[in-house]
Amino acid sequence: MSPDIRLIRRFHMTIDAGQKMPEGSFGIMTDDGPGTLSAGELFAGKKVVLVSVPGAFTPTCSVQHLPGLVDHAGEFAAKGVDTVACMAVNDVFVMAAWGKDRGVDDKVLMLADGNGDYTRALGLELDASGYGMGLRGQRFAIVVDDGVATHVAIEEPGSFDVSSAESVLNKL
């Protein structure tokens, strides 16, 4: 592991399959400007694929991770997924601009975790201060069925495999 990126280990546990998703909220861009979406609104009664990336506009996130979710949106829907959501520890304006830049349209819900509160609630923080990026979220994918995590895939630092659209589709 690079000395510049450290996983933050806290006294709380990391989310695992079979556990209820934590309470919290996300920033979203609406037609009227910035808004919020609660975890309950996102997950209750739905099957959701929640993907986290270390940052909007970063190379792997922009060239591979988010485009894979967009390209496979129809396949997720065909497997019963109601929402594919991409979360990053960025503000709502950055997430909206990134979604527009990548042509997301309504295929992927762009979620801002501006202060990293939801990321911390999941126990999946990443200290990227060695790269001048501060607290971020680890790269991961969680399949959520009616508020319960049914599959949790967390990448090793610097990797992009288990959280890819193709890998998640294979788990559905």
Which of the residues are catalytic?
A: 61
State which H helix or E strand residue 100 sits in: helix 92-101
Those residues whose C-beta lies under 8 Å from the C-beta of residue 20, and which sit 6 or more positions away, are 147, 148, 149
**Rounded distance, CA 44 to CA 96, Å?**
24
The number of residues in the chain equals: 172
Residue 143, beta-bridge partner list: 49, 151
